[in-house]
Amino acid sequence: MPVPDRPQRILTVSALTALVRERLEEGFSDCWVEGEVSNLRTPSSGHIYFTLKDATSQIRVVLFRPGAQRLRFALKEGLQLVVRGRLTVYEPRGEYQIVLDYLEPKGLGALQLALEQLKERLAREGLFEQARKRPLPFLPRRVGVVTSLTGAALRDILAVLRRRCPIVGIVVAPVPVQGDDAAAQIASAIRALSASKLVDVMIVGRGGGSLEDLWSFNEEIVVRAIAASDVPVVSAVGHEIDYTLADFVADYRAPTPSAAAEAVAPVLRELVGSLEDSRERMVQAVKGRLLERTAQQVDEAAARVGYVVRALLATLHRRTTESRHRLQAASPVDRVRAVSALLPQLVKRVRQGMATLLTVKRQTVRTAMTALDGLSPLAVLARGYSIVQTVPDGAVLKRAQDVSVGDDVLAKLADGRLLCSVRKILPNS
């Protein structure tokens, strides 16, 4: 075999590999590739190594730690990817590979995949179970609101709360609702309101937007803060068609911020009307119960009177019979006439006793009815008195010192009400 002519320059393996790397990096500095993930490795260094393959070929891929930390979804075997990167050579092994700077699931956005993966994991923990959701308070003292100060959501919530129930207190925890640090600040505000014990219920939300705009309310830190809240949480993220993980974990999901405000606060006018109706029914029930009791007492008294009368008549009848027997035995006509003359007097005395007893019982009934009327607040108003309340909170005034000159007060009379202004405060004369 003839010896071939040697070239003037003989390359080392390292030099040849370096030249191949240069040529590859020059020709494939920005390439897009799709394939299936296999041989996935995630060592403690934080880098991610895997093979991208199709039906007949494969290529090694590396995603270094900075890019891996920004990855929103979890890589797993068999996942179809579309990747972008530069082709290079790993010189120690002489293998070519792609160094990634971008990757996304094929046919499904990275955010959507991350959302589905996190939703599945949290659901396995039971965070979305219906059994752990709490009822909203009927009439909260104060409502906490976690949202942006500049958004339309806050304006809608405040307008609905003031219209429906102006006496409810409102505590606003302003936060950014999108951006890199928004999720951490939203979670911190939820935890702070829960720990403060200042509110009885909390609204967490914002206006509508894209999946990226609403993403802060899909973050695990926000979902866990809602789940750990000591007070019920109403989610109001986006519009009716928008759903986030905050909606699934919240105690109540409202389709809009305005609907959230309606859910936490009743209409005060309707509540006051219901209380007035209940008070009137209670007064009527008490009156009816007292009348029933008085009527029963009258019946019992009448029964006792009847018993006494019957006993007296029986006694008289017995005495008359005894007298008749004695008269018949003695047969003195005069004594018979004398005894017979006493009978009408005794009957008269019995009738008078019955009339007197019935008169006393009737008077007892009248006294009970008068006492019942005296207990009615309407009767007190009818006698010229009035109930004076402060404006606007409606507290009943018992001392003149509880108001100041110039304050408005509301005087409730037997017929109608008067809105008055305090001109002077006088001591009791």
pLDDT tens digits, one per residue of 214-270: 888 988 999 999 999 999 999 998 776 768 899 999 999 998 999 999 999 888 776
Contact 61, 49 (CB under 8 A): yes
Q: Is the peptide bond before 392 cis (omega within 30 degrees of 0)?
A: yes
Contact 414, 378 (CB under 8 A): yes
CA distance 331 to 342: 18
Q: Which burial class, exposed, middle or buried, applies to 201 when counting CB atoms under 10 A from its CB (0-12, 13-18, 19+)?
A: buried
Q: Specify which residues 273 forms β-bridges with.
A: none
Q: Parallel, antiparallel, or unpaired: how do β-strands 31-41 and 80-90 relate?
A: antiparallel
Contact 254, 260 (CB under 8 A): yes
> What does the pLDDT read at residue 378?
67
Identify the CA nearest to 35 among candidates 74, 96, 84, 93: 84
CA distance 17 to 94: 6
Contact 208, 200 (CB under 8 A): no
Specify which of 53-57, 143-147, 213-217, 324-328 reaches the highest per-range mean pLDDT. 143-147
Q: How far apart are the first and last CA of the chain?
A: 140
> What does the pLDDT read at residue 336?
54
> What does the pLDDT read at residue 301?
63
> What does the pLDDT read at residue 36?
87
Q: What is the mean pLDDT of residues 112-117?
A: 75
> Is it the case that residue 107 has pLDDT exceeding 90?
no
What six digits make up the tokens of 382? 């009818």
Specify which of 145-154, 264-273, 319-328 reaches the highest per-range mean pLDDT. 145-154
> Is it the case that residue 360 has pLDDT exceeding 90?
no
Identify the CA nearest to 156 among candidates 203, 188, 109, 197: 203
> What does the pLDDT read at residue 332?
60
Whether pTM > 0.75 for this model: the answer is no
> What does the pLDDT read at residue 199?
94
**Element (H or E) spanning 205, and its range?**
strand 201-206
